Amino acid sequence: MHALARARRCGSRLRDVLLAATLTAACCTAPASATTALREVLFVGNNWDGTADVIGSTGDFAKIARINVIPDKAQRLTEIYLNPIKLIYFLGIRQGPGEGHDQFVDDMYTTPDGTAVVVSRPSFADVVAIDLATGAIRWRFPVSGYRADHMAVSPDGAKVAVSASTSNTVHVLDIRTGRQLGSFRAGDKPHENVFTAGGSLLWNMSIGEVDNAFDDPSQDWLKGDRHITVADAATYRVVKTIDMRGRLDAFGRRDLSDAVRPAVFTPDESSLYFQVSFFNGVVQYDVAADRITRVKTLPKNPATSEDRTTWVNDSRHHGLSMKPTGDKLCVAATMDDYATVLDVATLQEGPLVPAAKPYWATVSGDGRACVISESGADQVTAIDFATGRKLLSVPVGDHPQRVRLGHVPDGWTGPSSG
């Protein structure tokens, strides 16, 4: 009996030791993704392709890989064609904002660990996370309504906000799981999203009804409710709405639309620069004073039609980015086929860099260049902030639009099955 008892005690102590060792290993060994070195890159969303090109974020911006962001295309199309309402919207997106094409990728952000890219897909009315190792979908979030649009990621990388165009809703998701954390109502056709105040506030810009042909200034009242909605990013309660109509009128610009398009804050968030529908220029708004302080009209391309119904989604110019130092502003003059760098102090434009329907502007990883997407030439082009001159162009997929900085594991060259 004593021998048996000693054996049992020894066995128990052995199990305790093994359990302790296991727990120690589990607690003290970091996940592989937490210790993996990350490389900064640029993601280029090829809207009509349903792909995203991954290129270097600086230097020669060399292509690294291409990702298929619609691996579930057959399944999604089956669902759409079996639902008459979904099919109506799907075809409407194709003929409207898609310019005769399906819109498969709008916006993209990577998860903090660099193992997945989160993509909004307008024609499929959803947001998905694509595993960068396998190319498979990790999670999918169908937005309310029938179209997904611009996104924004919180400063800590934990939350991603997405505009649901047809339901006038902004959803905020856990970027790792796709679980909805909250939502709030915005104006008609919510569009751009921007986190401010260290991630405690979320600004949404609604652009109104861009799909109708009531584009003459006298028909502006038919464009819907357009305003900026500012929400608390913790409670998702709306804390402020800003209608630029009164602010523009007070500045003496009743001729300008109040549909705020791409927008960018100064580094100290004291001023907001934005583009509005139909306008070839930039507006500056003083946040604290709540007023328009400057309006810059940029050159028109004499070859651009003055028929406003021919301008893509009511945007004559669409795309802004600011140098991290806050002294230079890059403008994508979409319908006028050029990009230019403005001196923020004077708003004087630099050289007009020819570009084929530039659709977006962002900043290179080192902050030295503005990177625009040339949707009409299927390439991205880097422009030197210092000189305002073109550095180089890199070919990408069909109709590039959004360009975003992100991270991938060091040495990554694309999904194994993508």
Q: Transcribe 255-270 into DSSP letters.
A: TS---EEEEEE-TTSS
On whether the CB atoms of residues 129 and 120 are closer than 8 A, the answer is no
Domain count, the chain: 1
Please tell me the distance from the alpha carbon of residue 168 to that of residue 185, in angstroms, as a whole number: 6
Q: Count CB atoms within 10 A of the CB of residue 372.
A: 31
Determine, yes or no, domain membership for 28. Answer: no
Predicted confidence at residue 352, as pLDDT, reads: 98
SS3 28: helix
Determine, yes or no, domain membership for 156. Answer: yes
Please tell me the distance from the alpha carbon of residue 274 to that of residue 282, in angstroms, as a whole number: 6
Domain around 235 = 42-409
Determine, yes or no, domain membership for 319. Answer: yes
CATH code of residue 332: 2.130.10.10
In the block, which residue shows the tokens 């220029």? 281
329, two tokens: 């502003």
On whether the CB atoms of residues 380 and 357 are closer than 8 A, the answer is no
Q: In this structure, what is the dihedral angle of CA atoms 285, 238, 128, 142, given to the nearest 10 degrees?
A: -130
Determine, yes or no, domain membership for 8. Answer: no
Residues 6+ apart with CB under 8 A from 138: 116, 128, 129, 130, 131, 178
Q: For every one of its 418 residues, what pLDDT tens digit does the chain have, with 9 covering 90 and above? A: 334 344 344 344 433 433 333 333 333 333 444 568 999 999 999 999 999 999 999 999 999 999 999 999 999 999 999 999 999 999 999 998 999 999 999 999 999 999 999 999 999 999 999 999 999 999 999 999 999 999 999 999 999 999 999 999 999 999 999 999 999 999 999 999 999 999 999 999 999 988 888 878 888 888 899 999 999 999 999 999 999 999 999 999 999 999 999 999 999 999 999 999 999 999 999 999 999 999 999 999 999 999 999 999 889 999 999 999 999 999 999 999 999 999 999 999 999 999 999 999 999 999 999 999 999 999 999 999 999 999 999 999 999 999 999 999 999 999 985 4
Task: Give the global pTM.
Answer: 0.90
Determine, yes or no, domain membership for 403. Answer: yes
Predicted confidence at residue 379, as pLDDT, reads: 98
Quote the strand ranges of 197-257, DSSP E: 201-206, 228-232, 238-242
Determine, yes or no, domain membership for 4. Answer: no
Predicted confidence at residue 221, as pLDDT, reads: 86
Determine, yes or no, domain membership for 299. Answer: yes
Determine, yes or no, domain membership for 37. Answer: no
